[in-house]
Structure 1
Amino acid sequence: MKTYALAAVIILSLSACAQTNNPVFPGWYADPEGIIFDNEYWIYPTYSAAYEEQVFFDAFSSPDLVNWTKHEKVLDTSAIKWAKRAVWAPSIIKNKDKYFMFFGANDIQSDEETGGIGVAVADQPAGPFKDHIGQPLIDRFHNGAQPIDQFVFKDQDGQFYLYYGGWRHCNVVRLNDDFNKILPFEDGTMFKEITPENYVEGPFMFIRNGKYYFMWSEGGWGGPDYSVAYAIADSPLGPFKRIGKILQQDPEVATGAGHHSVIHPEGTDQYYIVYHRRPLTETHHNSRETCIDVMEFNEDGTIKPVKITVNGVKSNPLN
């Protein structure tokens, strides 16, 4: 196991034999971003609590999807002077041997408030992350989209995009290679709206067999009907025509299954959906836990509905 300086590390072991691997780690965590760095699985979630208590991010790493290590407070608002509360939905990517985390902060309700989408940077996945540009990257409402729920995506040609948006609107922007400014599209626009039918928040993108799979959350995050739907397109800019839901509550397992990401070990056709849900015993909107289940495809490339489970996924070491 790797040792990461300046990260408080707690070993969390879940038994593979018992196969009760959901939730994947204890505690209330939501909006999980799953990714692979250096032959390790990582999850970066939102700390699910009152907005005033959401002032940090923990991260979790695993060699096999079953045994998880907690890295406490890889980023907190002491490093982001303009962020005061409601730090949400981290999205992380490696670029130029640095790790960049995009996040939302302050839950701004108008252009007159301070907050929006920020960028932090670190030398390693476990942080510590520091403010990259000293101010929000996006701090205004464009096309009706609240500047939250960001997802950073690298296209096959090397271009970086940021998909984001709450309040039922989704925008995409082009990023420069240094992640300190937004670039215009060929038509001169800076913020391109790509909102599909029923979109609420939580965008995510991946490529499979040359097709762009755009995914998002529907319903209210605090209720039982939170869910995930998707579209398939030939371009990272769409158009994105809704195909249907692939993740939702199961009255025998959990409710409010949504705000997800996808982990795909390179060179395989294995896909895992990482998401949050609410246990049947809980009614509070912040009682959300992070889970992983298998995501599979039909022969025509469409996604099969995901069965949410208590068993979770089996051990799958990367090396």
Structure 2
Amino acid sequence: MKKHYLLLLFTFTTAFLSAQNNNPVFPGWYADPEGIIFDKEYWIFPTYSAPFDEQVFLDAFSSPDLVTWKKHERIIDTAEVSWAKRAMWAPSIIEKDEKYYLFFGANDIQSDKELGGIGVAISDTPGGPYKDLLGKPLIGKFHNGAQPIDQFVFHDKDGQYYLIYGGWKHCNIAKLNDDFTGFIPFEDGVVFKEITPEGYVEGPFMFIRNGKYYFMWSEGGWTGPNYSVAYAIADSPLGPFKRIDKILQQDPNIATGAGHHSVIKVPNEDTYYIVYHRRPLTETDGNSRETCIDIMKFDDNGHILPVKITEEGVGANPLQ
């Protein structure tokens, strides 16, 4: 009888665990998530999703396996950044020379007459605390029509670091200098090159796979149900980028507003995860956004297959 009971308990427990829903990956309203791997840990750096005047700090989350997450509260806030008052958005992070550089947007400026834009902060650990590196914005003006928000720092295979950014349907790329305090002009003397593809709205992201540059971005309005992600492929981080297809969007049976994403590649595997935010079907407030993870796959031609957004999310995948 005891053996039968244990077998039944094991079967029930296994079925329960396999049916668990891992999306959203952690509680709370968080958006614009950047996923990355540091020191055999997964990390997510999101926007705190709230009214702009309440967005005065950034949290981070770490996990050994994509399932169990630890919250790192207030890794930076406006008390540390003298010029930032509100709307701290869309963090992007990179490690260089054993330092961690956190790029962020602040103040949601609408013109060159306002103080704000893209800043950069530094820490000895990914979980902070971070200190403002410059005491002023790294980019505080509009260039090529791009609002200085939604920054992504990209490390190319030749060692060059780029900042790719932009809202208001314009995207720029610029070469960061060695200490991330400014930019290096391209050979033609231009500092900010526009690489805007068809359909681009905001939220750029770039990665390399099989020698090709995959450029991804968000389309639609962030408060609406049709927020989504599309992509292009080129031979250079400068493009030209011709839109191929939309690969992430709402599923009316699961959630709406699926967009503003990032991608995590597992080292030594051809395994890719897409980290993104979406709005539960029960929510109508534009700020009610949660962070989720699903698998991202490719076809034999290297094209990204449409992502199926799920409530199950992904299973545990500890880093070796």
Report the TM-score range of the alignment, normalised by the length of the smaller protein: over 0.9
Aligned to 1:240: 241
| Cα distance in structure 1, aligned partners of 2:267 and 2:153 | 18
Q: 4+ residue stretches of structure 1 with deviation over 3 A?
A: 15-18
| Cα distance in structure 1, aligned partners of 2:243 and 2:69 | 35
Aligned to 1:173: 174
Aligned to 2:4: none
Indicate conservation of the 8 Å contact 1:260/1:274, yes or no: yes
Superposed counterparts of 1:1-319, under 5 Å: 17-319=18-320
Three-state SS of the structure 1 residue aligned to 2:200 is coil
Three-state SS of the structure 2 residue aligned to 1:242 is coil
Letter in 2 for 1:190: V
Indicate conservation of the 8 Å contact 1:16/1:66, yes or no: no
Three-state SS of the structure 1 residue aligned to 2:118 is strand
Identify unmatched segments of 5+ residues in structure 2. 1-15
Structure 1 residue 43, shift from structure 2 partner: 0.1
| Cα distance in structure 1, aligned partners of 2:93 and 2:182 | 17
**Cα RMSD (Å):** 0.8
Q: Write out per-residue CA displacement over residues 239-282 of structure 1, whole angstroms, 9 at most, x where no aligned residue.
A: 00000100000000000000000000111100000000000000
TM-score (norm 2): 0.94
Structure 1 residue 124, shift from structure 2 partner: 0.1
Report the structure number with the largest CA radius of gyration. Answer: 2
| Cα distance in structure 1, aligned partners of 2:82 and 2:305 | 43
| Cα distance in structure 1, aligned partners of 2:312 and 2:169 | 33
Identify unmatched segments of 5+ residues in structure 1. 1-14
Indicate conservation of the 8 Å contact 1:19/1:314, yes or no: no
Letter in 1 for 2:86: R
Three-state SS of the structure 1 residue aligned to 2:307 is coil
Structure 1 residue 133, shift from structure 2 partner: 1.0
Structure 1 residue 16, shift from structure 2 partner: 5.2
Q: Determine which structure has the larger helix proportion and give its number.
A: 2
Aligned to 1:10: none
Three-state SS of the structure 1 residue aligned to 2:79 is helix
| Cα distance in structure 2, aligned partners of 1:237 and 1:199 | 15
Letter in 2 for 1:44: F
Aligned to 1:5: none
TM-score (norm 1): 0.95
Three-state SS of the structure 1 residue aligned to 2:291 is strand
Structure 1 residue 19, shift from structure 2 partner: 2.6
